[in-house]
Amino acid sequence: MSEITSFLSGTGTDHRGRKLPDILQFDDDELEATHDYIQWLFPIPERSAFNFLAPVLTSGDIEELRRNPDALDNLRAAAERMLEFYRRNDRWLGVTDHNHLRISRIIRSLRLIVGHPEARRFYDAIMKRVSSTGSPVSANALAFWRRALTSA
C-alpha cells in the first residue's frame, strides 16, 4: 500500500505525522491557515508547487483507492468537511484567493478517485455558494473549476 493510500484509508500519516481524522477535526481557522494538508486529503497526479513533501497520485494509487471503501468514505468525508468550511465563511469569496486553487484540486481529485458524480456534487455546491453571494470569484477561477470537473 502506498503512502497516500495508507493515509486516505485512515491507517497512515502525512509528512507531519497527522492522521486523516486529525485533519478533519481542524477548526475553520486551522483549515484556512494551514497549507500542507490539502495535498494529502485530495491528491492529484502533479507535484505540488507549495508542498514538496506531498504525495503525487499515480495510476496505481487511483486503482487501489477506487477499490478501497474506507478510502472512498474518507474522501467523501473530507469533501464534506471542506464544503462546511466554504459554506461557513466568506474569506474565499473574492476575485483571488488561495482557496480557489484548493477547490480546483478537490474537484479534480474527487473526479479521478471517487468519480464524476461526487466531483459534480462538490462543484455544484461551490457554484451555489458563489452564486448566492453575487459571483465575486474571477472568471479565471471558475474556468479552472470547470476544467477540473471535465478534463483528464
What average pLDDT does range 50-61 have in this prediction? 92
Residue 48 DSSP class = P
Which band of pLDDT confidence, cut at 50, 70 and 90, is reported for residue 152? Answer: low
Contact yes or no for 113/65 (Cβ under 8 A): yes
Domain total of the chain:
1
- Which pLDDT score, from 0 to 100, does residue 45 have? 95
Which band of pLDDT confidence, cut at 50, 70 and 90, is reported for residue 101? Answer: very high
Element of type H or E holding 124: helix 116-132
- Write out the three cell numbers for 4: 497516500
- Which pLDDT score, from 0 to 100, does residue 38 have? 96
pLDDT tens, residue by residue, 3-20: 999 999 999 999 999 999
Q: Which pTM was predicted?
A: 0.96
The parent domain of residue 39 ranges over: 3-150
Q: 99: closest CA among 31, 12, 10?
A: 31
